[in-house]
């Protein structure tokens, strides 16, 4: 009895200490997130020596990860035969990675911090100074071997944890369906791999401890092959500690072992909290372990798969909301189809195919089936719900409700799921409670895109879409990568009016992408002659049943709000044919000038009685050809907003224009990132940078 009490007290003390250390790691993390991280390099460093740990071809550049004093991302725009493990001497210049310039979206700078990377180097020269060590030679042999297969994209994903080569549209369909976790090497893969190895070892050896030791060594090597991704680290080390627990008969709950791993991870790198893989892996594992007794009640494989999918889906909701701004209520059911397909068939077959190449054809066929099924399911949009970005208090509230929901399901009660669904529906419609109208100038590089969202969900207007062509004549789709995610992050599920001010590519070039990927009700064009792109947009709108019209000197009303278009005579200039918009919201005068030049400004000054404006969207990206002294002295803006790309070829905004606007508060996307102006009794503004 005394021995039992002593053991109980020891376990209780261990659990208390574990909890206290975890709380300490959270405090440590919060402290570091609010303080600038230190680097072993400085911005003046122009030469580094290190080992190549990753290689990836991106468009016209080769991107390397090099481990020197610390990891560095290296971009190289010349030919180089990249071999993992080679020691290289690189000369170039360092810069800090860019943070996100659109509110709520993926922050590349923070992601790199989660990888313990502080700087990006643009390389001028790369020189190999030493060959790879043996461990890297094995990895290179495996990579070269995989490159011979038709299914190499998926073999890289399932074997090496690299899914970057899979088609973006397919990846997007997996994300929409909530099954992208199946491509990330995680507990399922590690469990299956370790089980296979143990099964083989146990057939030849009865020394279980030695067999477990061999498995652990193989798993640690496998973690190296996958570049020590958080999900693999979590799964591998959890297997190790559970094995130790089993061998020496430790009476410690698995959930506390998981907490210890998370604590060690956070003390090692507090910025890992920015890594979505870390969050998904540890939080979902926490809930699966916490409710393991509930899962055990299901005897059949399909029953267990379904309840695990339900718990994993629920546990991932807050993370999904703040990263993808959308959940798919069909995900648990879709997982019932894909989890057995991947875990029982495709992943094991991938392991076998690495050894038996003729099976590549069969694997290719099954992967095609999986991709087509995913695309088919992703086209079902009725169960997808757009949910706006939530703060820390919203995340905590969600997890309290989710925990109660899973608990009540375990008690065979429905009230938890009813409460959760009610919260999700309330969240999805929370914009009806929004009392503020706001304008966001979205950073779309060298182009224009302005969101106007009226209070109480009374209307959403997007003015231009942007359309940027880089120096290699490649188009970056700001709409898919920035605009649509931003709209979703604000809880917006449709655009009531898409206003295309004029026919220049940098204003409407991405309108076709928007129409293909987001719901638009009406499109407004100017009354100038249509160019090829405008005709293409009109044709697409007609095919999709979207109402469109040409507009000039008139006013449209949206509930209690209005937009007045200040028209002018047709000209031979696309810029001077721009739709110019005036509105007044909460007593604030707003004037949006498109790309109008001084010629059009003079016409407006002579035709309309312009008020002093609170917000001026400066014409033509702050070009020298716009914003005449007469015009600026008439409207006398309090806030001037300018959309211009960083290091653009045109020198926008021009210093003369900025001089004329100096009496106003000037905000520029190339400096401030996206600009959000909240229109209350006074204007409150936020910038993404």
Q: What pLDDT does residue 72 have?
A: 96
Residue 204 binned pLDDT confidence (cut-offs 50, 70, 90): confident
pLDDT above 60 for 485? yes
Q: What pLDDT does residue 536 have?
A: 95
Residue scoring higher pLDDT (101 or 247): 101
Task: Please state, in angstroms and rounded to a whole number, the distance separating the CA atoms of residues 677 and 685.
Answer: 4
- Tally of CB atoms within 10 A around 587: 10
- Tally of CB atoms within 10 A around 508: 29
Q: What percent of the chain has pLDDT over 70?
A: 98
Rounded to 5 degrees, what are φ and ψ at 99? -75, 175
pLDDT above 70 for 407? yes
Query: Edge-to-edge strand order for the sheet containing 639-642?
Result: 555-558, 561-565, 581-585, 588-592, 615-617, 639-642, 665-668
pLDDT above 80 for 475? no
Residue scoring higher pLDDT (590 or 477): 590
Three-class secondary structure assignment of 208-237: HHHHHHHHHHHHHHHHHHCCCCHHHHHHHH
CB 285 within 8 A of CB 239: no
Residue 473 binned pLDDT confidence (cut-offs 50, 70, 90): low
| Mean pLDDT within 478-502 | 96
Q: What pLDDT does residue 209 have?
A: 85
Residue scoring higher pLDDT (140 or 60): 140
Residue 13 binned pLDDT confidence (cut-offs 50, 70, 90): confident
Q: What pLDDT does residue 470 have?
A: 67
pLDDT above 70 for 4? no
Q: What pLDDT does residue 468 have?
A: 80
Q: What pLDDT does residue 569 have?
A: 80
Q: What pLDDT does residue 70 have?
A: 95
The pTM of this model reads: 0.93
Residue scoring higher pLDDT (37 or 656): 656
Residue scoring higher pLDDT (5 or 478): 478
Q: What pLDDT does residue 161 have?
A: 87
Residue 429 binned pLDDT confidence (cut-offs 50, 70, 90): very high
Q: Give me the chain's average pLDDT, please.
A: 92
Peptide bond into 653 cis (omega under 30): yes
Q: For residue 179, how far is the Cα from the chain centroid?
A: 16
pLDDT tens string 77-134 = 999 999 999 999 999 999 999 889 999 999 999 999 999 999 999 999 999 999 998 8
pLDDT tens string 327-376 = 999 999 999 999 999 988 999 999 999 999 999 999 999 999 999 999 99
pLDDT tens string 625-635 = 999 999 999 99
Q: What pLDDT does residue 326 have?
A: 96
Residue 254 binned pLDDT confidence (cut-offs 50, 70, 90): confident
Q: What pLDDT does residue 619 have?
A: 95
Residue 7 binned pLDDT confidence (cut-offs 50, 70, 90): low
Q: What pLDDT does residue 530 have?
A: 85
pLDDT above 70 for 189? yes
pLDDT tens string 409-424 = 999 999 999 999 999 9
pLDDT above 70 for 552? yes
> What is the longest distance spanned by two Cα atoms in the chain?
98
Q: What pLDDT does residue 499 have?
A: 97
Q: What pLDDT does residue 140 have?
A: 94
CB 502 within 8 A of CB 578: yes
Three-class secondary structure assignment of 97-159: CCCCCCCCCCCHHHHHHHCCEEEEEEEEEEEEEECCCHHHHHHHHHHHHHCCCCCHHHHHHHH
Task: Please state, in angstroms and rounded to a whole number, the distance separating the CA atoms of residues 442 and 216.
Answer: 49
């Amino acid at each position: 009895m005394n021995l039992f009490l002593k053991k109980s007290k020891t376990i209780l003390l261990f659990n208390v200490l574990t909890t206290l250390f975890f709380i300490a790691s959270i405090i440590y993390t919060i402290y570091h997130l609010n303080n600038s991280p230190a680097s072993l390099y400085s911005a003046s460093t122009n030469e580094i020596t290190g080992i190549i740990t990753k290689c990836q071809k991106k468009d016209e550049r080769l991107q390397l990860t090099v481990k020197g004093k610390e990891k560095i991302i290296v971009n190289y725009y010349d030919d180089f035969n990249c071999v993992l493990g080679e020691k290289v001497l690189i000369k170039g210049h360092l810069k800090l990675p860019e943070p996100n310039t659109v509110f709520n979206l993926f922050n590349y700078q923070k992601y790199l911090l989660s990888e313990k990377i502080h700087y990006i180097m643009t390389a001028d020269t790369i020189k190999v100074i030493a060959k790879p060590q043996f461990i890297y030679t094995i990895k290179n042999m495996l990579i070269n071997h995989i490159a011979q297969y038709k299914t190499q994209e998926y073999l890289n994903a399932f074997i090496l944890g690299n899914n970057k080569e899979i088609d973006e549209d397919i990846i997007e369909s997996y994300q929409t369906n909530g099954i992208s976790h199946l491509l990330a090497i995680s507990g399922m893969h590690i469990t299956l791999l370790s089980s296979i190895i143990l099964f083989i070892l146990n057939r030849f050896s009865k020394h279980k401890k030695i067999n477990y030791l061999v498995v652990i060594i193989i798993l640690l090597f496998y973690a190296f092959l996958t570049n020590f991704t958080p999900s693999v680290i979590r799964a591998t080390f959890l297997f190790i500690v559970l094995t130790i627990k089993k061998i020496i008969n430790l009476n410690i709950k698995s959930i506390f072992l998981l907490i210890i791993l998370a604590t060690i991870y956070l003390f090692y790198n507090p910025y890992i909290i920015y890594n979505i893989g870390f969050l998904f892996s540890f939080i979902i594992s926490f809930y699966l372990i916490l409710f393991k007794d509930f899962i055990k009640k299901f005897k059949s494989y399909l029953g267990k798969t379904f309840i695990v999918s339900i718990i994993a889906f629920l546990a991932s909701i807050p993370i999904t909301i703040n990263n993808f701004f959308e959940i798919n209520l069909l995900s648990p059911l879709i997982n019932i189809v894909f989890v057995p397909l991947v875990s029982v068939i495709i992943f094991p077959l991938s392991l076998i195919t690495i050894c038996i190449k003729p099976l590549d054809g069969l694997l290719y066929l099954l992967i095609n089936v999986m991709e087509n099924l995913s695309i088919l399911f992703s086209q079902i949009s009725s169960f997808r719900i757009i949910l706006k970005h939530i703060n820390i208090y919203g995340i905590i509230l969600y997890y309290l409700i989710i925990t109660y929901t899973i608990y009540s399901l375990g008690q065979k009660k429905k009230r938890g799921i009813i409460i959760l669904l009610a919260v999700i529906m309330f969240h999805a419609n929370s914009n009806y409670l929004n009392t503020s109208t706001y304008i966001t100038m979205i950073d779309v590089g060298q182009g224009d895109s302005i969101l106007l969202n009226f209070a109480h969900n009374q209307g959403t207007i997007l003015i231009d879409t942007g359309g940027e062509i880089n120096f290699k004549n490649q188009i970056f789709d700001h709409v898919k990568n920035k605009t649509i995610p931003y709209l979703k992050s604000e809880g917006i599920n449709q655009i009531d009016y898409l206003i295309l001010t004029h026919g220049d590519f940098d204003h409407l070039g991405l309108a076709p992408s928007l129409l293909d990927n987001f719901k638009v009700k009406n499109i407004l064009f100017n009354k100038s002659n249509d160019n090829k792109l405008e005709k293409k947009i009109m044709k697409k709108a007609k095919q999709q049943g979207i109402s469109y019209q040409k507009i000039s000197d008139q006013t449209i009303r949206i509930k209690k709000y209005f937009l007045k278009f200040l028209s002018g005579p047709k000209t031979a200039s696309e810029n001077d044919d721009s739709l110019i918009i005036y509105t007044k919201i909460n007593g604030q005068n707003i004037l949006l000038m498109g790309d109008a030049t001084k010629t059009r400004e003079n016409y407006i000054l002579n035709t309309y009685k312009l008020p002093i404006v609170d917000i001026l969207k400066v014409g033509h990206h702050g070009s020298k050809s716009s914003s005449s002294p007469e015009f600026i002295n008439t409207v006398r803006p309090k806030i001037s907003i300018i959309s211009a790309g960083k290091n653009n070829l045109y020198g926008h905004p021009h210093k003369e224009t900025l001089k004329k606007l100096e009496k106003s508060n000037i905000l520029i996307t190339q400096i401030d990132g996206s600009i959000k102006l909240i229109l209350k009794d006074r204007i409150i503004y936020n910038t993404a940078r």
